[in-house]
Amino acid sequence: MKKRKLDPKYNFFAAPHPTVVAGTFVNNKPTYTTLGDFGILCAYPLHVYIASVHTHYLNIGIKENMTFSVNIPNPDNLVKTDYVGIVSGHKTDKSKVFDFFVGDLKTAPMIDEFPITMECEVHDIKRVGRNDVFMAKVKNIYADKECLENGDINMDKVNPITLFMDLTYRTIGKTVGISYQVGKNFKPSQ
């Protein structure tokens, strides 16, 4: 074993995160924060989670509304995306940073200038360490028409951003294989 054993520190976590902006309403105004801790809990039907430090302003609204939005930026949206993760909603009104619309859930502000946004309905809240983990069913996804091709999403047109623990935001790179295909080239030794 040529590996070095490390403490389970956040900055040793070497997987790519998605970069997203979560939104909700607090006191009838939208508020947002940047998150990397977002992912799928179930694909069919589609359930996701976000994790956010329990003291965050965002959490107040999610607990009240039991809804949130997840907004997927591209590099054109990066300055605003990072901004809403730097300033706290407790001190700063972020309601005018983005143009938004609401969907069926009414209380999940979806960012119009981002290529993809989704509205989510919370069904469970679990405290893990210092975070509230909000588990939710995705109610609807909204996509810029420019990102759609033959009724499906073209990921290169979405051009989402990844986030790493070295604090770099990165684009997606080149395709190195197709899932459920490239593995067929494996020849077991026996």
> End-to-end distance of the chain based on CA atoms, in angstroms?
24
- Does position 75 bind a second copy by CB under 8 A? yes
- Does position 29 bind a second copy by CB under 8 A? no
Biggest alpha carbon distance in the chain?
A: 64
- Does position 150 bind a second copy by CB under 8 A? no
- Does position 125 bind a second copy by CB under 8 A? no
Task: Fill in the DSSP letter of residue 32.
Answer: E
Q: Which residues in the 85-104 window bind a second copy by CB under 8 A?
A: 85-86, 96-97, 101, 103
- Does position 180 bind a second copy by CB under 8 A? yes
Cα gap 155→146, rounded to integer Å:
11
Q: Which residue in the set 27, 42, 63, 65 belongs to the binding site for a second copy (CB under 8 A)?
A: 42
- Does position 116 bind a second copy by CB under 8 A? yes
Task: Decide if 68 contacts 111 (C-beta within 8 A).
Answer: no
Q: Which residue in the set 27, 55, 64, 112 belongs to the binding site for a second copy (CB under 8 A)?
A: 112
Q: Which of 88, 78, 79, 16 is nearest to 52 (CA)?
A: 88
